Amino acid sequence: MNDSNKIIEEYISKLFEVQRARENQPLTEQELKEIALDAGMSEEDWQAAQEVYLDHIERAEGFLKYKNWSDAIQEYKQALRIKPNDTQALASIAYAYKMRWQEKSQNEDRDHALVFARQCLQASPQNSQALIIVSELSKEKIATKTSQVSSSSQRTILIIVAASIILLLAAIIFVQTGADQDEYRENQDYTLPNLSQEPTTNTPDALPQGMQFEVSSNTRLSVKELASEFKKLFGNRTSHHANCSFENTGENAIKRLKIEVTWFDNKGTRIIQRDFNIVPENGKPLAPGHAKEYTIKQSFPQGKTQENFRYYLIKIRKIQ
């Protein structure tokens, strides 16, 4: 284990101790940061840990999109190690457990969904997703218990009837020979969606380099890269920081600007993709002729480094 991993594991260990002492009462963002700094993290380490957290969240959301509940759950668990009271992660992992329970009918998944949803409500009592999950699954649990009691009574009656029939059949079989028996076998297979991406046939010489901006006929935006650098994160991971300028070249103010950024490797294969709100809803509009600087930060998956990187592509997702 390298020094970075030791630091973050020390933070997680100290965080666990503090939570246990406080009887798992929700910790604020500032309290989490104080615990991290006390565990030996620097300010830069803390920011890097937040990027790792976001990576887990984004992968989890991608798995949810393709109904890959199991992998989504694992990613949310890793995110919650860093930020254990994050309501987004708590509500989403509860949802993933609920959906897996509906598919596989494993009661432990339903119980986990209730635990995480209730933990979310401790931090955010009005979280609508958590409230819905607790309400639905609590009713389902009561209905299941009632059904189990009813089924138990029915089974007792069926056993008595079956015993009587067996005695009657035994008497018939005693004077007759032969019996037929049918066997029934039910196989249930669940195949996870194939999320792998086939590499493109592009050769390195044919690929662009650095920042690329996809311009459309109605684009009223100019994008320039001001600076680009790569940083080392925990677990030998790499983060790319690109400082870009977004200029409004139109005649009207831009009240909302959301972009999609995709990073590509030397073979033209996508490394990772993420959305960024350059001008958020209800934020300060970008006036005509004015530019806004924004630093795009994204850490790469384990094993992908600066040497693998070739270019990144910026597309407009929403502009108003």
pLDDT tens digits for the chain (320 residues)? 556 566 677 777 777 776 666 555 667 777 787 877 777 777 777 887 888 888 899 899 889 888 999 999 999 998 998 888 888 899 999 999 999 999 998 889 999 999 999 989 988 888 888 999 999 888 776 555 555 555 666 676 777 777 667 766 665 555 444 433 333 333 333 333 333 344 444 566 789 999 999 887 667 899 999 999 998 876 567 889 999 999 999 999 999 999 999 999 998 999 888 888 899 888 899 999 999 999 998 888 777 889 999 999 999 988 98
CA distances (Å), 191 to each of 87, 188, 251, in order? 30, 10, 52
Fold held by 208-319: Immunoglobulin-like (2.60.40)
The rounded distance, in Å, linking the Cα atoms of 234 and 45 is: 8
Q: What pLDDT shows up at residue 112? A: 93
Q: What pLDDT shows up at residue 24? A: 57
According to DSSP, the β-strands at 270-279 and 291-299 are: unpaired
The rounded distance, in Å, linking the Cα atoms of 13 and 99 is: 31
| Domain definitions of the chain by residue range | 3-138, 208-319
277, β-bridge pairs? 258
- Other beta carbons less than 10 A from residue 44's beta carbon: 10
The rounded distance, in Å, linking the Cα atoms of 26 and 86 is: 9
Beta strands in the chain (DSSP E): 210-213, 221-232, 238-248, 257-265, 270-279, 291-299, 309-319
Name the strand (E) or helix (H) holding 156.
helix 128-175
**Within this chain, domains 3-138 and 208-319 share the same CATH topology:** no
- Quickly count helices (H) and strands (E) in the chain: 7, 7
Q: What pLDDT shows up at residue 191? A: 36
Contact 52, 237 (CB under 8 A): yes
Query: Whole-model pTM above 0.85?
Result: no
- Other beta carbons less than 10 A from residue 218's beta carbon: 8
CATH numeric code, 3-138: 1.25.40.10
CA distances (Å), 278 to each of 37, 244, 290, 291, 314, in order? 30, 10, 13, 11, 12
* Backbone conformation region of residue 268, classed left if phi is above 0, alpha if psi is from -120 to 50, else beta: left
Contact 80, 89 (CB under 8 A): yes
Beta strands in 249-308 (DSSP E): 257-265, 270-279, 291-299
Q: What pLDDT shows up at residue 272? A: 87
